[in-house]
Amino acid sequence: MKTNILEGTKAIHQDMKEWMDHMHQFPELAMQETETAKFIAEKVKSFGFEVAQGIGKTGIVASMTLGDNKKSIGLRADFDALPIQEDNQLAYKSKVEGRAHLCGHDGHTTMLLGAAKYLSQAKNFNGTVRLIFQPAEETMQGGPAMIQDGLFEKFPVDAVYGMHNMPGLEMGKLYFREGETMAAVDNWEIELTGKGSHGSMPELGIDPVVCGASLVMALQTIVSRNVSPWQNSVVTVGAFLSGNAGNAVPQNAILRLSIRNMDPQLREKVLDRIRTMTKAQAEAFNCQYEIREGIPGAVLVNTPENTQWAAGVARDVFGQEKVEDTLHPYMGSEDFAFMLQKKQGTYCMLGNGDTPMVHHPQYIFNQEILPIGAAYWVGLTEAYLQ
């Protein structure tokens, strides 16, 4: 075991807590992370990294080259927050109403900052390490935006690695999986337009609420009656927005959907059923409709060789008992999938312990795992850039 790495990151644990506390108190939503980006950039510059800002709008790439080795490795962390009200009594609770880091992205970024500080001090590598701080993971915008902005052309890497904390998994243990690991997500919005009227005279209007309610129920049959029980698919209507008064028929209704699939062909089938059902329900209730389709989803596929190698490095750093390579696939989604379409690499889970799930108002990132995540990043860098 390379216990010296973990001991080294534990030595900067207090620094990492302070960095995370700051980011947690001032959360910023996807593609609005300007102050968080400045904070990150200032930190990595102070460690001696060469820093490029504004990649994919608010993204950052911090690079450091030592020696004459031409090899390069990319390490990625996300840093956007969620539009959810936090419900806890943390001393560093979010100071922004209705916004919070309830997925742990502040912790992910902190772990990469911790690795940056360690690497800049130890200087125990030969080659180039690139730290990719990515915005807008929650909206699936950040990864594609950085790629389209020339991420891998301007900042070449041989492989790229990602990591996410996961409640329900043993605290401090790393979990790996080869191949398909997370689902493709499609975030759609459906707007139904009717005709407003007084609630006492519904015959003079066209009610988009009734149409929307029928559509919500119809959409539930896609998975239950169109998808084999042996396949995985999820259709969730997470928001139904319409009207403000109980005595008025509103003019329109908006449904926001999260659609997740692990198989590309099944994904197309499910999306086509949503289009067909929306058209049929709108016509049945005499409403107009518009479907606004978001960024096309992508399945996150871990490269087998890189996954095996990364798990081996983790065992060297933490010991056999702290590493699992039997992670089950998740129907959650990650725009790191788009990076893995361009580069080989892998995405692993770091156990957050017995806490509420990510996106829950009472979720808390376990700060005890900060040195572990940082040590994993250091281990990968030193092992690859020997």
Which region, left, alpha or beta, applies to residue 204 given φ > 0 means left and ψ of -120 to 50 means alpha?
alpha
Which region, left, alpha or beta, applies to residue 51 given φ > 0 means left and ψ of -120 to 50 means alpha?
beta
211 labelled as ligand-binding? no
110 contacts: CB under 8 Å, gap ≥ 6: 16, 19, 20, 23, 370
User: Hey, what are 68's tokens?
Assistant: 């004459």
Environment class of 323 (CB within 10 Å of its CB; exposed 0-12, middle 13-18, buried 19+): buried
Identity at 237, one-letter amino acid code: V
| E-assigned strand segments in 79-158 | 127-134
Estimate the share of the chain in helix, then strand, then coil, as percent rounded to the nearest 5: 40, 25, 35
5 contacts: CB under 8 Å, gap ≥ 6: 118, 317, 375, 378, 379, 382
Beta carbons of 135 and 56 less than 8 angstroms apart: yes
Beta carbons of 122 and 375 less than 8 angstroms apart: no
348 labelled as ligand-binding? no
DSSP state of 199: T
The pairing of strands 127-134 and 174-175 is: unpaired
3 state DSSP class of 14: helix
Residue 132 dihedral angles phi and psi, to the nearest 5°: -105, 110
Beta carbons of 191 and 252 less than 8 angstroms apart: yes
CA distance 255 to 239: 6
Beta carbons of 355 and 364 less than 8 angstroms apart: yes
103 labelled as ligand-binding? yes
Which region, left, alpha or beta, applies to residue 172 given φ > 0 means left and ψ of -120 to 50 means alpha?
left
**Residues making up the binding site:** 103, 105, 138, 164, 359
Question: Which residues are annotated binding-site positions for Mn(2+)?
Answer: 103, 105, 138, 164, 359
